[in-house]
Chain A
Amino acid sequence: MATRTRWSPGPATWKDDLSPLPAGEWNYDRAAHLLAHAGFGGTPSEIEKVMAAGLDGAVRSLVHYERIPNPRMQPFVESGLWDPTLDRFPDSRPEATDRASKDGASMGVDTKPQGNRPMQPVSDRFFYWLRATMLETRRLGYWWANRMLQTTHPVEQKMALLWHGHFATHENKVRDYRKMMQQIDLFEKEATGNVRELTIKVAQNPAMLYFLDAQYNVKGAPNENFAREVMELFTMGVGNYSEQDVREGARAFTGWYFDDLTFKVDPGKHDSGPKTFLGRTGNFDGVDVVKIIFDQPATAEFLAGKIYRFLVRDELSPDLRRRLGAVLRDNHYEIKPLLSAIFSSKDFYSQATYGGHIKGPVEHMVAMMKHLGAEAIPGVPDFNQSTIAMGQHLLNPPSVAGWAGGKAWITPGLLIARGNIARDVLIPDMTGFRDWNFTAGSDDVLGRRLRDGLDIGAATAVTDPSKMSTFDLVALERDELFNTRISGYIGWEQAARKLVPTPRQAAQFDLTRMVIDSGATTTAEAIDYLTWRMLRVPPAKPTRDAFVTFLTGELGTDRLDRAKTYMEDALRMTVHLVMSTPEYQIV
């Protein structure tokens, strides 16, 4: 059984102090704090291992993880939805059908020589890929979340998650799960490497190039989208460059594009003339521009601050940010020394940091599994639907600025969703569950109508036309080349036929055993154990007492040995309540 050290935040005077924690200050609670911030939390046995390694040993093995075996990491199993005709996928449905009008074919599909809706196959094909890549991306996100849970390198996964939100692209626009997969791979490989090198690789990453319109950035007609976001969101932040720098930077990136999954430079479209960028002049290309950006002190401070806020706590003083920036810069943008300095510092274990971080939804989901002792993220509830409800759709951040994080994770609506998802995990609705991947969204009604023998016109008609928008009415005109509404449904069906199904198993864990193994004999001891194991910030006394009363009432006794044959569901309800507390949302 774990040594149950009390919650032990360091004194307030440790705040902003980057000097190392004295060895005598190291204990189980501090090890739990370290794992909760550096990774996704830990089971008691994981925390004990970290504690046993001592502070230096613990930080070293967390940060320098490369040689630690990671046996549960498996490659993503693709469904085989893509084929080369989908290369250079049209940006929009109108573009797809315009191509077909011009060439008689689009995305490897011909138009019909005669008959109604001659372009229907083209429209169907367009929606097939929209649905296919959307569904496969959801599988990809689920696979990634399981890596976060099952890895022996939690810092690697936590940092990959940070980079995904920092160098944010979303599948909604990229529309190619393969490019998103390539990004996850990049963020894992470079998770704790050199952030300057990572930035160059991101600038040459096909998902990013597409996302920020690089293919339209050509000599003589620069498109500023990419150059601006590189400086504003990825490296320096506003106020450290001028509009002139944006324009000159855009010129340096001209001619950068991608061919399917490969970065390319088109010398004919690259503007090789001299540029003046951040006070320097030369015939710069994109790599030169990134290097110049990383010569600015603002860049080191911006990135160090971002890393700190993601891992440690929301607020940091300008002075601490400057000192962390110096650590990053002095180490030539190597990330590991910065992480080691943060994780070893008194500041990290100070009162300000304890309970100072609001868990993001994906982090929260992974941490729930650690607390329950589950070894895989469940299939019921659906991982993506759950995290979307809590405000985070993996591989679909809301904009290029990523997720705001911190307090933005909590609104009345999102907070309630966290409690509801906890219940879905603890007491899943197995008989009421429907696999979202096979629902066709709101278009499933069309499938039922077609199978009932209605033609496309009738199936897509709306019962009450007065309730339709102008847009719907336009979309429903009868004499048509194609019907996009039915394509939405058919595309989903075609994609779902090939899609590798997601196993729909509930989370596997045993709270009865967990509580008995803890040595608890009464309901009060059970509550104290469960709250100690799951909450970093202890519960309020009235809350704790209400839990004890609740559990005793549900069991009909306060003696666990009397109730051990039937107490699982009551324990699950109790943990649902524990995970619904304000304290559970923070570490």
Chain B
Amino acid sequence: MPGRNRSDDSGVSRRDMMRLGAGGLGFGLFGGVGPVPFVFSQASRATSATLSNKILVVFEWFGGNDGLNTIVPYGDAMYYKHRPTIGIKEKDLLKIDAQFGWHKSMRGMKTLYDEGKVAIVQGVGYDRPSFSHFTSMSFWHTAAPNSGNEYGWIGRTASALDPAGARPNMIVNISDSQTLAVKAEKHVPLVFTDPAKFQRDVFAQEKRVVDVLPAQETPVGDAHKYVLEVTRSAAQASEVVRAAWSRYTGRNNPDLRLLDLDKVAALIEADFPTKLYYVPLRGSLFDTHVNQASPHDRQLEYCSDAIAGFFQEMHRIGRADDVVMYVHSEFGRRVPENTSLGTDHGTAQVNFVIGNAVKGGLYGKAPSLSNLVLGDNLESTVDFRQVYATLIQGWLDADAASVLGQRFDTLPMFRV
């Protein structure tokens, strides 16, 4: 396990925060808002001790990112044949080798790559791919392509790590609505976007009544049960999230702020017990059917800067060895450009796995640009569940086969 490099100057407050974060259970139904009861902080520390410090952050790029214009196969003449107008010129690329180059906007990621911290996985997809954003993403969320599962792959990973569901705030989802990937059997994911607004505004007199709001013990139905559970979890979580946020020292970094990665950094700095963070990037900005160059250039730049900034934060906080980030979309795009100077929905995509623990380099086999399948599409060479298995088994030390329902070959991308 990578060692933790912590600075001493803030050690004390960090320990306090650990109690605060891990002891979310302390804010019980009738417990009132006060110091964490001793019994809870002991219990949660004991729970934490059984799990490693390793954290996985999933950064989801919704919309269908154009992998061929992200990691550009400039050495293949077919690329420019398929993309005479929107193909990115060799002189504009940040070159990896004689075959591939990073999109010109991705200086931040290129720097991390040059430091040996980025695994690029090409050709990632699945059999019988869906061309629907929502269907394909639901396959990725459940890790059940052309099938289904009630729980998400992150939710199931949480169950594998902590079968009793004892660890509070195991999963954090920075999102307006809960992402299917985090839906879990035992763990209630902590879902929010703005920590500053994640607070019940009440007058002093009202405070003691607030705890009694979710008092109903026999819900009238499923919807009622759900709202009751969320009410209880919200009461516990808002206090600790806001405390973490108000103490976070890297708050004004614009690169991070833009894409919500600053919230993840804040909770990590506060030693939250969370092992699984899920950050979906919304707004379909990667859905580049029309005049793709300008929005795609900008979007990649934002994302790449945010990721580089996030790892600078992890380094500052002393957790860079403990954190791995995974980036994926729901599909790549069609190989030939369309007549609107854009690209339509496609199949295989490029994924990134980033962190100090990662052995940087190219993984997977880049799909052929000559033998296209399913109407001008890339044939995938890596099942996305191989990447999931790699993260679950190789990084989080959990049993991937139990999470994914079958065994997948992993990619040797972690330093031992």
Contacts and interface: CB of A to CB of B under 8 A. Distances in A.
Interface stretch (B9-17, B40-48, B72-80, B293-301): B293-301
A419 B201 CA distance: 8
Interface string B355-385: 0000000000000000000110000000000
Interface string A360-404: 000000000000000000000000000001010000001111001
A183 B203 CA distance: 42
Contacts of A550: 205-206, 209
A585 interface: yes
B282 to A, nearest CB: 6
Nearest to B375: A243
Interface in A398-422: 398-401, 404, 406-417, 419-420
Contacts of B4: none
Contact of B282 (A398, A541, A585): A398
B3 interface: no
A190 B196 CA distance: 42
B252 A410 contact: no
Nearest to B304: A470
Contact of A246 (B131, B201, B209, B223): B131
Contact of A412 (B192, B213, B289): B192
Interface stretch (B229-237, B388-396, B398-406): B229-237
A540 B289 contact: no
A581 B194 CA distance: 22
A266 interface: no
A414 B289 contact: no
Contacts of A472: 254
A2 to B, nearest CB: 22
Given A401-B134, A543-B213, A411 B201 contact: no
B192 A411 contact: yes
Contact of A417 (B197, B210, B228, B345): B197
Given A471-B301, A573-B203, A410 B255 contact: no
B200 A586 contact: no
Given A243-B375, A472-B254, A546-B209, A415 B234 contact: yes
Contacts of B176: 391, 398, 411, 413-414
A415 B338 contact: no
B233 to A, nearest CB: 5
Contacts of B294: 92, 94-95
B243 to A, nearest CB: 15
A228 B132 contact: yes
B400 to A, nearest CB: 28
B223 A546 contact: no
B410 interface: no
B209 A582 contact: no
B254 A469 contact: yes
Given A243-B374, A356-B222, A540 B209 contact: no
Contacts of A540: 215-217
Nearest to B344: A224
Nearest to A172: B283
Interface string B225-269: 011101101100110000000000000111100100000000000
A469 B305 contact: yes
Nearest to B183: A407
A416 B200 contact: yes
A379 B226 CA distance: 32
Contact of B212 (A407, A546, A583): A546
A53 interface: no
Contacts of B215: 540-543, 546
Nearest to B253: A467
B51 interface: no
Interface stretch (A17-25, A213-221, A335-343, A492-500): A213-221
A582 B213 contact: yes
Contacts of B158: none
A386 to B, nearest CB: 12
A582 B254 CA distance: 37
A216 B197 contact: no
Interface in B21-61: none
A401 B338 CA distance: 24
A537 B218 CA distance: 12
A355 B220 contact: yes
A580 B227 CA distance: 11
Contacts of B290: 91, 213, 216, 223
A355 B298 contact: no
Interface in A318-362: 351-352, 354-358
A401 B197 CA distance: 27
Contacts of B192: 411-413
A315 B107 CA distance: 48
Contacts of A406: 223
A554 interface: yes
B1 interface: no
Contacts of A469: 254-255, 258, 302, 305, 309
A471 B213 CA distance: 46
A238 interface: yes
B132 A313 contact: no
Interface in A531-553: 537, 539-543, 546-547, 550, 553
A314 interface: yes
Contacts of A528: none
A568 interface: no
A559 B130 CA distance: 66
B193 interface: yes
A16 interface: no
Given A246-B131, A408-B177, A471-B305, A224 B345 contact: yes
Given A246-B131, A423-B202, A469-B254, A413 B209 contact: no
A577 interface: yes
B339 interface: yes
A216 B224 contact: no
A85 to B, nearest CB: 22
B408 interface: no
Interface string A302-320: 0000000000011100000
Given A410-B230, A416-B199, A586 B194 contact: no
A583 B191 contact: no
B302 A471 contact: yes
A585 B227 contact: yes
B366 to A, nearest CB: 24
Contact of B177 (A391, A419, A554, A580): A391
Contacts of B237: 412
Interface in B122-136: 130-135
A542 to B, nearest CB: 4
Contacts of A216: 289-290, 338-340, 342
B318 interface: no
A155 B197 CA distance: 34
Given A95-B291, A228-B132, A582-B228, A577 B210 contact: yes
Contact of A221 (B135, B209, B222, B339): B339
Given A407-B226, A547-B209, A585-B227, A351 B291 contact: no
A537 B220 contact: yes
8 cross-chain pairs, A with B, having the tightest CB-CB distances, nearest first: A221-B339, A412-B234, A413-B192, A216-B340, A540-B216, A411-B191, A582-B227, A542-B215
Given A355-B220, A399-B282, 9 more contacts: A216-B338, A232-B134, A351-B220, A398-B176, A420-B199, A467-B253, A470-B305, A540-B217, A573-B205
11 contacts: A218-B339, A228-B131, A228-B132, A238-B132, A358-B226, A411-B177, A411-B192, A470-B108, A537-B220, A582-B227, A582-B228
